[in-house]
A and B are shown apart, each in its own frame.
Chain A
Amino acid sequence: MYDEPRFLGSGDSCMVVEFSDAIEMAANVRLQSLRRKLAAQDIKGIRESVPTYRSLSIHHDPIILPREKLERIVQSALCGLGDEDDRERRILVMPVAYGGENGPDMANVCSHTGLDEEEVIKRHTSRDCYCYMLGFTPGFSYLGGLDESLATPRLKNPRTLIPAGSVGIAGKQTGAYSIDSPGGWQLIGRTPLKLFDPDDPKNPTLIDAGDWIRFSSISDDEYKRIKREADACGYAPERRVETNAVQG
């Protein structure tokens, strides 16, 4: 992480505040705090701010809020930025039916890692993963923190259609497809949660950058039950807040 964040121009209507040039948890936590702080101030002329692994893109209307003025606002917001957000984990528990038809590439992951299915599931559910950012498709989260013994390269031939909710592994990354889309991740299971729902005006996406995901193994029957509920009337997944000391 840089000592001082860099302000980078990104056209006449956007400024990037860059905290690091690498994937770093500390930098990401800091930019999430800046994002929340700016959102809370509800500054006229800021259209939205978009977090990535290492930077925050602040989209603004340069006629209402010129660049120099925005720089001053961000500078002062950075000054009072503590790391209090560091101590709390907002956790979303994501139920996953592993293996079988829900996880057609489970055998690939087992043979690549040399672990049996039970062990893959155990390791995939034993560590919380941190959501650095959302991108690729609406609601798709870029997660860090996968148990490295599960790392498996992408499929040589990507699939043209992966159903929404599929949970996969690609190298050291893991994540869930938020909408039906093409992709090359090794699919090990499927979550019944609706990760992207454009018709939900309040929460079109379940996961927000800065959240932690805790995968939890469920049976196929349980999958069907939750899926039915989610499709029929919406399903509120378990969310919890824990202090960071619990998991080192």
Chain B
Amino acid sequence: MPFRVEKPGMLTLVQDLGRWGHQFRGLTVSGPMDQFSLRIGNVMLGNEENDAALEITLPGLEIVFQSECCVALTGANFRIEIDGVSAPAWTVCRVRNGSRLVIKGFSGTPDGCRAYLCMSGGIDVPVVMGSRSTFTRGRLGGYKGRALAAGDVVGLCEPKPLWRLAEGFFCPPEFRPGRFDGGPLAATDGPQADAFTEKGIKTFYNEVYTVTNEIDRMGYRLDGPVIEHRTGADIVSDGIVHGSVQIPGDGKPIVLMADRQTTGGYTKIAVVSTWSAARLAQKMPGDAVRFCRVTEKEATKYLVDFESDLRAVDELRATYRSRRHTL
């Protein structure tokens, strides 16, 4: 039950929740930049949370379906058209054999740069080392280890029974991950927080930083006031996580993201919380960001809250489906 890519847009990648368990081999996790949007999209369709979907960076994608299925677009507020007619985001839409789906631009003021197009059953590409995620630098996973290109024909896995009954289901705005945007990014002290002067730490948590043009799935380079080291910027390499904030010799932060290197030799002043790292992933060059210092417990609360939101969306979907079923 495949679809064909007419125009790939700037960067369209197959991603599931990532290739865990191989960082000790030097292989990074990859996975979505905004895992929360991907997971909600899958739950809306009745998929498994880990099913693979398309991570679409900026509008421009155009695909033609060669069989019917249901789709849901989550994440940034891209405008979606199916067969020339506007279709709502955060809503399960039905497409038919021959349907053309186009990501046309934004609906209103852009609120992010990455959206997830989830499809019933999830995208079927070979599982490589436990995951369908694309890691382009390693040329592995996803569709032939690369971003989608015009002419690619991509398959879907067998959807769950009753998948059609999700059609029309709508995720209420209060469950969408973008609802807190505009606030500061929560960060905990990093493993080398003691390598910075008190002034350096204050600068990091109090000043405004700007997202530069140097952003990709590996990391976000920020510009702003220089952060002062106590001694130097170099350490004997140690581990890096999604959200690690490295401060190299120039004193400007680099936040490491989904395709980060597994280890690195720069001091890490802080680690952006899992929740806030996904919010940062929606920022675009020129956007301003601030950081606020939280404890690990406070950072974890966002994750706990998301889990209960996700369950709530799943229950709503189940109720929606059973009502449609009885009609």
Contact = CB atoms under 8 A, between A and B. Distances in A.
Does A pair with B?
A: yes
Interface string B242-279: 11100000000000000001110000100111100000
Nearest to B19: A198
B187 to A, nearest CB: 8
Interface residues of A, number: 48
Given A13-B274, A199-B128, A49 B24 contact: yes
B190 interface: yes
A54 B237 CA distance: 8
Interface residues of B, number: 41
A134 B273 contact: no
A229 interface: no
Contact of A12 (B21, B238, B239, B299): B299
B25 interface: yes
Chain B, interface SS category: mixed
A205 B23 contact: no
Given A16-B238, A22-B236, A48 B23 contact: yes
A66 interface: yes
A53 interface: yes
B138 A50 contact: no
B307 A52 contact: no
Contacts of A54: 236, 238
Contact of A10 (B20, B22, B191): B191
Contact of B241 (A11, A67, A139): A11
Nearest to A52: B238
Contact of B190 (A9, A13, A35, A178): A9
B296 interface: yes
Contacts of B273: 11-12
Nearest to B18: A47
A52 B192 CA distance: 15
A133 B191 contact: no
B162 interface: no
B298 to A, nearest CB: 9
A50 B190 contact: no
B315 to A, nearest CB: 19
Contacts of A184: none
B26 A137 contact: yes
B32 to A, nearest CB: 15
Interface in B1-49: 20-27
Query: A35, A136, A209: which has the most chain B beta carbons within 10 Å?
Result: A136
B274 A12 contact: yes
Given A16-B238, A52-B263, A67 B24 contact: no
B236 A198 contact: no
A62 interface: yes
Interface in B280-327: 296-297, 299-300, 303-304, 307
A142 B26 CA distance: 10
B299 A204 contact: no
Contacts of A179: 138
A167 B24 CA distance: 21
Contacts of B188: 9, 11-12
Interface in B177-194: 188-191
A10 B241 contact: yes
A11 B299 contact: yes
Given A10-B244, A52-B237, A209 B24 contact: yes
Query: A12, A18, A48, A139: which has the most chain B beta carbons within 10 Å?
Result: A12
Query: A8, A18, A66: which has the most chain B beta carbons within 10 Å?
Result: A8
Interface of B: 20-27, 128-129, 138, 140-141, 188-191, 235-239, 241-244, 261-263, 268, 271-274, 296-297, 299-300, 303-304, 307
Interface of A: 8-14, 16, 18, 21-23, 35, 47-57, 59, 62-63, 66-67, 133-140, 142, 178-179, 196, 198-199, 201, 204-205, 208-209
Given A198-B128, A199-B128, 4 more contacts: A12-B299, A52-B236, A133-B237, A142-B237
